[in-house]
Amino acid sequence: MVDRDSDNTGHLRLEGVGGQWGRFVLQPVDLDIRPGEYLVLLGPSGCGKTTLMDLVCGLRNPGQGRILCDGFDITHADPAERAIGYVPQDYELFLSRTVRGNLDFSPRMRHEHGPQIAKRLEHTVDMLHLEPLLDRRVDTLSGGERQRVALGRALMAAPKILILDEPVSALPTSLRDGVCRELKALQSRLGITTIHVSHNLDEALSVADRLTIMEIGCVVQTGEPDEILHRPADEFVAEFTRCRNLWPVEIRNGQLKMDAVKEARSLFQDYGSHPDGHYLLVIRPEHIHLSPAPDTARPDLLTGRVQASVRGSHSWMIEVAIGGMLAYACGQKNWAIGEHVQLDLREDKPWLLPA
């Protein structure tokens, strides 16, 4: 295992960190990354993920705010002094050097040598299965092999925090799941605080202890995967996490009103004590169960007609027209277009966002 000092807890704190570069504005970000956690920074292309990580690594200066690592203010510290291992999106390896030459880079730059470094190299090589590659030039390696070398090079600096910028996006799709599993297993073994940057929800969910969701220029929500999926902070998070159902509803005098169903109150056991107003009712497709609609119409049931049915890799996505509204349900079987179906909501408490 890579040597790490006993005070090496890897607690990263961002306090109001923001700035402007050209026309891009990063709104002040507050983020508390716990020691040893695997956090995925997730957001669409161009939202500012790399910019934020550049600030953490010291590759650019913030216009405002503070960055603290284990309580020390590192906002303006030299990148080499930060104990942060950064694996950039394109790995930035020395292509004409050998794997050993790349792994040696960080200790050489810091004039570190001796038995401790030799031991660290041995453990890194062992852990990432790099032994057979040590004397190969990097430009002769496959994408997956380069990724391991880049990770090894970052670990050779014995970082407190590891930042992986889109670590699997350069790999063929068939390799991504396996590499993510390896990254997660490695991180669990090392207990190293890790920030994994991604724009892919499935990839993020496969590894994250917590997710931080970014919209263009701002962080909108940080939470455990279930919280993000089921309690999105706003419409953007709901849509980005593929929560397809955002239905307009109204609460009036403590009653839930919805155009599509007369007795909407019966749809949920508890809809909380929301003040009167217009809301979006958020419900995930996997929480809607379809069954054939009863012959006689009931005012307390949500029913509609199947409009489309699309096969996914694990389930079907069924689009149901309910009056003027569309609902999306995830199911294990296909439904015929035009079929009259009943929608059972497998969620006791609806999640309501202000409309």
114 binds ligand ATP (CB under 6 A): no
Shortest Å distance, C-beta 170 to ligand ATP: 12
The dihedrals phi and psi of 190, each to the nearest 5 degrees, come to -80, -25
**Closest to 316 measured CA to CA, from 352, 292, 290:** 290
Beta carbons within 8 Å of 121's beta carbon, 6+ residues apart? 103, 104, 107, 156
160 binds ligand ATP (CB under 6 A): no
CA distance readout (Å), 272 to 86, 249, 265, 350: 45, 14, 11, 8
Closest to ligand ATP by CB, 51 vs 124, is: 51
The C-alpha atoms of residue 5 and residue 3 are separated, in whole angstroms, by 7
**Closest to 93 measured CA to CA, from 56, 133, 123:** 133
Stretch that binds ligand ATP, among 43-51, 154-162, 176-184, 250-258 (CB under 6 A): 43-51
Stretch that binds ligand ATP, among 30-38, 42-50, 220-228, 244-252 (CB under 6 A): 42-50
The three state secondary structure string of 305-350 is EEEEEEECCCCEEEEEEECCEEEEEEECCCCCCCCEEEEEECCCCC
**Closest to 64 measured CA to CA, from 26, 23, 24:** 26
48 binds ligand ATP (CB under 6 A): yes
- In the region spanning residues 188 to 207, those forming contacts with ligand ATP, defined by CB under 6 A, are 199
24 binds ligand ATP (CB under 6 A): yes
Shortest Å distance, C-beta 49 to ligand ATP: 4
Closest to ligand ATP by CB, 1 vs 59, is: 59
Shortest Å distance, C-beta 169 to ligand ATP: 8
Residue 87 · residue 154 · CB < 8 Å:
yes
51 binds ligand ATP (CB under 6 A): yes
Other CB atoms within 10 A of residue 255 CB: 12
Q: According to CB under 6 A, which one of 17, 40, 50, 220 is a site residue for ligand ATP?
A: 50
CA distance readout (Å), 211 to 9, 201, 241: 20, 10, 11
197: tokens are: 């940057």
**Closest to 41 measured CA to CA, from 164, 183, 197:** 197
**Closest to 138 measured CA to CA, from 105, 179, 181:** 105
The three-state secondary structure class of 229 is helix
Stretch that binds ligand ATP, among 49-57, 73-81, 184-192, 234-242 (CB under 6 A): 49-57
Q: What does the per-residue mask of binding to ligand ATP show for 269-308, with x meaning CB under 6 A?
A: ----------------------------------------
106 binds ligand ATP (CB under 6 A): no
Stretch that binds ligand ATP, among 17-25, 140-148, 156-164, 204-212 (CB under 6 A): 17-25
Closest to ligand ATP by CB, 50 vs 212, is: 50
Stretch that binds ligand ATP, among 28-36, 41-49, 229-237, 268-276 (CB under 6 A): 41-49
Closest to ligand ATP by CB, 197 vs 302, is: 197
49 binds ligand ATP (CB under 6 A): yes
The C-alpha atoms of residue 188 and residue 274 are separated, in whole angstroms, by 41
Beta carbons within 8 Å of 108's beta carbon, 6+ residues apart? none
Q: According to CB under 6 A, which one of 5, 6, 7, 45 is a site residue for ligand ATP?
A: 45
Q: What angle do CA 220, 222, 227 make, to 5 degrees?
A: 110
Counting Cα atoms < 13 Å in the Cβ hemisphere of 53 gives 27
Stretch that binds ligand ATP, among 16-24, 72-80, 242-250, 305-313 (CB under 6 A): 16-24
Shortest Å distance, C-beta 276 to ligand ATP: 39
The C-alpha atoms of residue 109 and residue 151 are separated, in whole angstroms, by 17
Shortest Å distance, C-beta 195 to ligand ATP: 12
Which single residue brings its beta carbon nearest to ligand ATP?
A: 22
Positions in the binding site for ligand ATP (CB under 6 A): 21-22, 24, 43, 45-51, 199
